Structure 1
């Protein structure tokens, strides 16, 4: 599977790229919001100009009564603020709607992650509400709030 956005390509993480992604997820600007995963299997690499600059993943609720998908994404600090994360999320969202038949997508950034929230709004995600004490900060052990956001298929920009 390879998905092409305006500027990024999303594709399965290749052998050896886990080390690159592990370095990215440990950058202070990324580690503030992400815990290092055990492995990167199942994630899609975000590739910009031939370089792996982050990763994106999705999960699917397959119960027909609650069918939807969720997205998670991280991007190296030196490429944040350039629209690449927005492009990656939009590209995956379009595929989830067109190819996987989802009518609704969710994303749940930390409530304090204003840059991510701004990026997701550009794709069309809207705030649903605060999920209190939703995720544990792996650095401090404290629980932090998250903002649940969703996007209906016809709202995708």
Structure 2
């Protein structure tokens, strides 16, 4: 387990799945903004649920985010596309609607950076988010990520193409 000031990142548990699936997947509008893949109906108890625990993987590290103040499941955080040759990965985060706005996202990104740079020895992290996602862009910037560009009309969301912001952070830039 990895502890921050406000969150704990731990391995996914079976009891996390129905909560995460209901709050982060069944909310079609939110899921469409958080994932580049098209939403499709998947039951929470299906092995195809994006929240179903799976075996450890070399190219992803998937965590449940727990709010330390009351031990409440807050969402999920992950490093994905881990490239051990180039020592880089992508950062992902989704918080349940009721858990947003209290600094948990910034703390979770900070803890993921610690894991990536200190535990995994990675050199670079990249974070992509919709350009209008001020919560995630703010969290990225507070942790030290730099905006590296905009992918114009890159994401199909609810019937329109939206811009995607790309952020990067190098190990030597991270203040840890």
Shift of 1:29: 7.7
Aligned to 1:52: 73
Runs of 4 or more consecutive aligned structure 1 residues displaced over 6 Å after TM superposition:
none
1:92 matches 2:91:
no
Aligned to 2:9: 10
Shift of 1:84: 0.5
TM-score normalised to the size of structure 2?
0.78
CA distance in 2, matches of 1:39, 1:122: 28
Shift of 1:27: 4.3
SS at 1:39 equivalent:
coil
1:126 matches 2:146:
yes
1:70-93 deviations in Å (ceiling 9; x for gaps): 111011222212110110110011
Q: How many residues align?
A: 152
Aligned to 1:39: 50
SS at 2:105 equivalent:
helix
CA distance in 1, matches of 2:29, 2:116: 28
Across the aligned residues of Structure 1 and Structure 2, the Cα RMSD in angstroms comes to 2.0
1:151 matches 2:148:
no
CA distance in 1, matches of 2:79, 2:97: 21
Aligned 1:21-32 pairs, distance under 5 A = 21-25=20-24, 26-27=26-27, 30-31=30-31
